[in-house]
């Protein structure tokens, strides 16, 4: 094998090696951590927003108490979870004519996973389905059950230990919610902490 051929072969092997390194880096997924160490086994975390809003075509619904309960684990190198509970309380609308008769999550649990986009970490919740029954004689949606369906992406903040859902986090994660034949927007900031084996330990994602 002459020098030119050897140089070409080495160049090919080097390119393949670098490609493998970059591919591994690109496919690396974030994981759940407590006190700086990767979570082993499972843990239950809970998040609650003091106020969260859901805007449907023509109407915004806000809930003073919006909670979620998530069982999390690291599986296959990626942080994953199962949202098992999502109670909503004290919900009102932006219209003086419309009230919220009932509201609740359907078809639980919802699968979730962690994702990194442009160096920021997100939680993505799939298969969301929330039913809202509106009431009011003069309410245009009175007697109508609006079903909010789709997926939701929230930005994770390691310092504040929060998950923030808004238009920017949905755009970054390419997630979307729909209702009444149009797009639905969800906003809320959820402080989150562990409630089983890792109580009072710092929850981070990396």
Q: What is the pTM of this model?
A: 0.84
Q: Does residue 14 sit in helix, strand or coil?
A: helix
- 42 and 7 within one domain: no
- Domain of residue 6 covers 1-29
- 78 and 54 within one domain: yes
- 161 and 66 within one domain: yes
Domain count, the chain: 2
pLDDT in tens, 27-82: 458 999 999 999 999 999 999 997 899 999 889 999 998 999 999 999 998 999 99
- 2 and 72 within one domain: no
pLDDT in tens, 126-167: 999 999 999 999 999 999 999 999 999 999 999 999 999 999
- The rounded distance, in Å, linking the Cα atoms of 199 and 113 is 21
pLDDT in tens, 9-40: 343 333 333 333 333 333 458 999 999 999 99
- The rounded distance, in Å, linking the Cα atoms of 128 and 152 is 8
């Amino acid at each position: 094998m002459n020098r030119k051929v050897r140089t070409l072969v080495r160049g090919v092997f080097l390119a393949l090696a670098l490609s493998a390194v970059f591919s591994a880096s690109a496919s690396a997924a974030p994981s759940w951590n407590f006190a700086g160490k990767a979570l082993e086994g499972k843990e239950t975390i809970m998040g609650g927003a003091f106020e969260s809003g859901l805007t449907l075509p023509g109407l915004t619904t806000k809930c003073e108490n919006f909670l979620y309960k998530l069982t999390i684990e690291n599986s296959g190198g990626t942080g994953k979870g199962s949202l098992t509970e999502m109670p909503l309380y004290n919900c009102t609308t932006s219209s003086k004519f419309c009230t919220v008769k009932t509201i609740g999550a359907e078809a639980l649990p919802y699968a979730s996973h962690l994702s990194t986009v442009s160096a920021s970490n997100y939680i993505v919740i799939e298969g969301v389905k929330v039913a809202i029954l509106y009431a009011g004689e003069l309410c245009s949606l009175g007697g109508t059950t609006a079903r909010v369906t789709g997926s939701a992406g929230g930005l994770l903040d390691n310092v504040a230990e929060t998950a923030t859902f808004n238009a920017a986090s949905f755009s970054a994660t390419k997630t979307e919610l729909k209702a009444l034949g149009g797009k639905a927007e969800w906003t809320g900031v959820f402080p989150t902490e562990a409630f089983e084996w890792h109580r009072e330990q710092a929850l981070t994602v990396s």
